[in-house]
Structure 1
């Protein structure tokens, strides 16, 4: 008898990731590991993410007027990138431990692209499907129905 392949479904956005797997009877989704990943920093206010107000500078004309300088990076984007990197790292560890054979990644388009650049070729080979949607707020039952309708979970 052939070995049954273990499939993980990772539903993520820039601040939250849920790890799910089909149940033994293939009728619903169950948690694939003990805990989901949540980055509370990404959901905070911008003033909580950066240290202080932007610097000020005199204008180039001789008016003596001072203007605030724009920060070079958006703190929310930096936090989302950090979260994507930690998510990929957790998936790399799970892949090395052979906790799954196939992977279905459901995330917004920007997050998928960012994760793809951070993944090793070994982890990329495990990916069976990528779905460019934000479904983090879906219940497990509704997510199961949507994935089955898309034909992403072979039985």
Structure 2
């Protein structure tokens, strides 16, 4: 009987850690097998310049145009895309058999949008909580019931 390998992704908008778990009960590796961080610069450093100006349809009034997307939101989506790429590489090299994703609701949604169909098929559980700052030994109790599946 072969032991299945589960990757546990614990992420938020600026930090992602992937732990490896084998066997039951849940035994997370004490150090992540992968770790990623994203910069979180202020908006003035992300946006290239000031917003454009436009005229009102009636009269001489002018006002600034709102940017089409929030620069911080865009950076969070880019980070989710990078995480999905890491997970996809792990899937194609058969580094894991099952995947658990732990992330705040917005990041969880961004990750869902980025996962390929074969990768989604390996997801056994999702936890919509921000547990990204917990050390590995404190994560295990939150995930033990999910891993018993």
TM-score, normalised via structure 1 length: 0.86
Q: Which residue of 2 aligns with 1:57?
A: 54
Separation in 1 of the partners of 2:100 and 2:32? 12
Is contact 2:6-2:22 (8 Å) kept? no
Q: CA deviation at 1:154?
A: 2.6
Is contact 2:3-2:22 (8 Å) kept? no
Q: Structure 2: which 5+ residue stretches go unaligned?
A: none
Spell out, residue by residue over 1:94-146, the C-alpha distance to the aligned partner (whole angstroms, 9 max, x if none): 00001011111001222222222221221111111111111111121111122
Q: CA deviation at 1:25?
A: 8.3
Of 78-87 and 51-60, more deviation after overlay is shown by: 51-60
- Please state whether the residue corresponding to 1:122 is helix, strand or coil: helix
Q: Structure 1: which 5+ residue stretches go unaligned?
A: none
Q: Which residue of 2 aligns with 1:112?
A: 108
Aligned length: 148
Q: Which residue of 2 aligns with 1:10?
A: 9
Are 2:140 and 1:153 equivalent residues in the alignment?
no
- Please state whether the residue corresponding to 1:17 is helix, strand or coil: strand
TM-score, normalised via structure 2 length: 0.89
Is contact 1:58-1:65 (8 Å) kept? yes
Q: CA deviation at 1:91?
A: 0.3
Matches within 5 A, 1:1-155: 2-22=1-21, 28-30=27-29, 31-33=31-33, 35-40=34-39, 43-62=40-59, 64-148=60-144, 151-154=145-148
